[in-house]
Amino acid sequence: MTSAPEVTGFYEKRTGSVQYVVADPATGQCAIIDPVLDYDEKSGATATIQADRILQFIADRGYRVQWILDTHPHADHFTAADYLKGRTGAPTAIGAKVTEVQKLWAGFYNWPDFPADGSQWDRLFAAGDRFSIGDIPGRVMFSPGHTLASITYVIGDAAFVHDTLFMPDSGTARADFPGGSADALWQSIQDILALPDATRIYTGHDYCPGGRAPRWESTVAEQKATNIHIARHPAQPDFVALREARDKTLPMPRLILHALQINTNAGRLPAPESNGRRYLKIPLDLLDARWS
């Protein structure tokens, strides 16, 4: 195994999201992964509570931000990548397949002039690309299924798997968003579980089943042995059938139509209109309601 970064998770209760600071203590360099920009859909208010909490932690540790990384365009929260870039000057990055998600959602939002070329980020990572956090090596795995653009960051002995695997008692992520695929998700999970057994696995969400406290760290060995979807349904056809049946019962995330127009634009909020206010655009009757 390669060197082990210091990993600190920051749980965001409103959306069950986990944000990370991944640091090389020897050099003081760090990356921020999947940061949340606070958004209240009832009032339309935005805030930087979560991002400022992370910045304070970094300041207290004396770290320097080297990267601001998103694993995919999130459907359930706004990314704070653009805000953090403005505060730190660090470059932003995401998977190169984000351009496919941009094209898909630009059509949904009827944005004919939207630049669906990934230029909103400083770097687009392709599968196999390498980078570093201080002296700790990192590499990128392409992990589609939950979205077209999902990637996994492997940094030292830690893998940040976004919405592919959850904690073992919660199973795996849904694959029914536009561009999602349960078959692709199964293959992505196999690739992740082919990492060394001691690899630390960090999830993008935790929904606290049974009311337990939030958790977000496991290992490849633990996932293979006890994940309720993978261990019980190891064959691809069985897993795909389970995943697709479960997905049909799940309502769409309450922020999906809000969040994708922000997150396909690297966290930039819409430009103010003539009255100085910013506006979101919500397409009606685009997604299945799944009335309860």
pLDDT at 1 over 50: no
| Average pLDDT over the chain, rounded to an integer | 96
Would you say 66 and 29 are in contact if contact means Cβ atoms under 8 Å apart? yes
> Does 272 score more than 60 pLDDT?
yes
Please check whether residue 220 lies inside any domain of the structure. Answer: yes
Instruction: Print the domain residue range for 28.
Output: 6-263
pLDDT of residue 2: 55
Q: Is the residue at 106 inside a domain?
A: yes
Give the pLDDT confidence of 164-217 residue by residue, as tens digits. Answer: 999 999 999 999 999 999 999 999 999 999 999 999 999 999 999 999 999 999
Residue 138 lies in a domain: yes
Structural domain includes residue 41 = yes
279 in a structural domain? no
Structurally, how many domains does the chain consist of? 1
CATH code of the domain covering residue 232:
3.60.15.10
Name the band, by pLDDT with cuts 50, 70 and 90, for residue 290: confident
pLDDT of residue 292: 56
In a domain, 193, yes or no: yes
Whether 288 is in a domain gets the answer no
**What is the DSSP annotation of 149-217?**
T-EEEEETTEEE-TTSB--TTT-B----STT--HHHHHHHHHHHHTS-TT-EEE-SB---GGGPPP--E
Residue 292 counted as domain residue: no
